Amino acid sequence: MKIGFDNEKYVTLQSEHIRERISQFGDKLYLEFGGKLFDDYHASRVLPGFQPDSKLNMLMQLKDHAEIVIVISAADIEKNKIRGDLDITYDRDVLRLRRNFQERGLYVGSVVITQYNGQKAADLFRRRLQEAEIKVYTHYIIEGYPGNVPLVISEEGFGKNDYIETERPLVIVTAPGPGSGKMATCLSQLYHEHKRGIQAGYAKFETFPVWNLPINHPVNLAYEAATADLNDVNMIDPFHLEAYEKTAVNYNRDVEIFPVLRAVFEAIYGECPYKSPTDMGVNMAGYCLSDDEACREASCQEILRRYFQTRVKFSQNQAAESEVYKIGLLMKNAKITPEDRQVAAAARKLSAEVQVPVAALQLEDGSMVTGKSGELLGACSALLLNAVKTLAGIDDSVHLISPEAIQPIQHLKTAYLGSKNPCLHSDEILIALSACASNDPIAMLALEQLPKLKGLQAHSSVMLSSADSRTFRRLGMDLTYEAFPFKE
């Protein structure tokens, strides 16, 4: 992929800007981190060159002054909400985040359970944290939040929430995903700090939308596609335009909440330090694009991936039809169609010709590798074998795994494990390949090509099993597939 983002510049510029914001306030800054603090694969896809842990590396430059508070909504615990990119529940991700932060030498002060209203699952999670000697605090549902400012800024509002004891001047407030209550946690702390005579400030670190890129720039359109389930809408910040006569891009939720946030600041401190929601932000990503065209192309491809993924979710009753329509409109805005995802076009074309399921993979040089379903292998398994042979320069006629070696595995699946499909899934074929590699140097050469698949684009002409999609994800490939099963 062509590089379009200067990651080194970003880390330096971003950390300097956050230091400046800390100095703007007296004793303490609560910095809400929107999006993912690390493992930010959306950003790395739409801004090629952005490293998934860039924000974490930036934070490492401030680690002596920072502590982390992880926020999770009681409602998300109750409904076992899943983080889609990792396929784990939010409560499990809280523990994963805490462990990963600590392994990097960052101080995690506590966990906050927000929007609590007696949920039993939240009680169990709180007990689990306490048994692990993790500080845990509880914030409650406030009737009329955020609009009823007199109630919110009172002992019956924020005053009911636990005061989070923090030690350092920079408090990073992060969460497994959106809607966790990060902003409310920050504002609640401002209320409590003020009661204790501490002058605390608030700022927001939200990578997308990029405020100083045009509203219809594909990078910003890709953000809308990624948040179609939240119905986030990019818009010109009207407060920024009025205050400075300059155009800045923000999104609807921040614009809608700003009058409330301004009222909260005024109720606590007498005045608001910000004139617009854009003022609240500290994001410097827009200054670090090194190749705008590369970022545009990468973002268009991300919109297309979101389109295919949302169609699949809709077919499984996991997404609303409005989400499919919204991404379709974003595609029109970006002037792209499903056929602009080249691996999708290749898989669809060959499947129509051979009338069996087909999977396609695009290599770094732009060439296509395909695999089709047969008696022994599913399309994804055939694709993986063809891909590693191509990358290793092994002739297509060479059998990396002999049919005689595959047949006993098929018998195991159908006769003993109860599977109706004898074809080997991608994880099964990789295990078979690794077994062959122990005494076959050609198979070993093929196996050694697997790391080269990371970051490549793949598409299946039919809906995939969870086993196949999980294997491709573990290999680091950007996979999409159609929203319907193959029909004979």
Q: What one-character-per-residue DSSP string does 128-191 give? A: HHHHTT--EEEEE--TTTTT-HHHHTSTTTGGGSPPPP--SSEEEEE-SSTTS-HHHHHHHHHH
Whether the predicted pLDDT of 59 surpasses 90: no
Q: What is the pLDDT of residues 282-298, one digit of tens each?
A: 999 999 999 999 999 99
Q: What is the pLDDT of residues 294-319, one digit of tens each?
A: 999 999 999 999 999 999 999 999 89
| 299 contacts 218 by C-beta, under 8 angstroms | yes
**To the nearest whole number, what is the mean pLDDT of the chain?**
92
Q: How confident is the model at residue 268 (pLDDT cuts 50, 70, 90)?
A: confident
Q: What is the pLDDT of residues 148-203, one digit of tens each?
A: 889 999 999 999 999 999 999 999 999 998 889 999 999 999 999 999 998 899 99
Question: In this structure, which amino acid lies at residue 308?
Answer: F
Beta strands in 189-329 (DSSP E): 200-205, 234-236, 249-251
Most confident option among 234-238, 408-412, 413-417: 234-238
Neighbours of 238 (CB within 10 A): 14
Determine the Cα–Cα distance for residues 42 and 246; give it in Å rounded to an integer.
28
Q: Identify the structural domains of the chain with CATH numbers, from first to last.
A: 7-213+240-289 (3.10.630.10), 343-481 (3.40.140.40)
**Tell me, what's the pLDDT at 487?**
46
Determine the Cα–Cα distance for residues 43 and 12; give it in Å rounded to an integer.
17
What three-state secondary structure class fits 348? helix
Q: What is the pLDDT of residues 435-459, one digit of tens each?
A: 999 899 999 999 999 999 999 999 9
Whether the predicted pLDDT of 34 surpasses 60: yes
**Tell me, what's the pLDDT at 488?**
36
| 291 contacts 263 by C-beta, under 8 angstroms | no
Q: How confident is the model at residue 21 (pLDDT cuts 50, 70, 90)?
A: confident
User: Bridge-partner residues for 88, per DSSP?
Assistant: 83
**Tell me, what's the pLDDT at 394?**
96
Mean pLDDT in residue range 210-216 = 96
Q: What is the pLDDT of residues 93-120, one digit of tens each?
A: 999 999 999 999 999 999 999 999 999 9
**Tell me, what's the pLDDT at 102?**
94
| 40 contacts 85 by C-beta, under 8 angstroms | no
Q: How confident is the model at residue 223 (pLDDT cuts 50, 70, 90)?
A: very high
Question: E strand or H helix at 457, and its extent?
Answer: strand 457-460
**Tell me, what's the pLDDT at 235?**
96
Q: What is the pLDDT of residues 37-55, one digit of tens each?
A: 777 889 999 999 999 888 8
**Tell me, what's the pLDDT at 231?**
86
Task: Enter the tokens of residue 374.
Answer: 């047969």
Mean pLDDT in residue range 51-66 = 88
Question: Between 467 and 138, where is the model more confident?
Answer: 138
Whether the predicted pLDDT of 86 surpasses 80: no
- Alpha carbon 335 to its chain centroid, in Å, reads 24
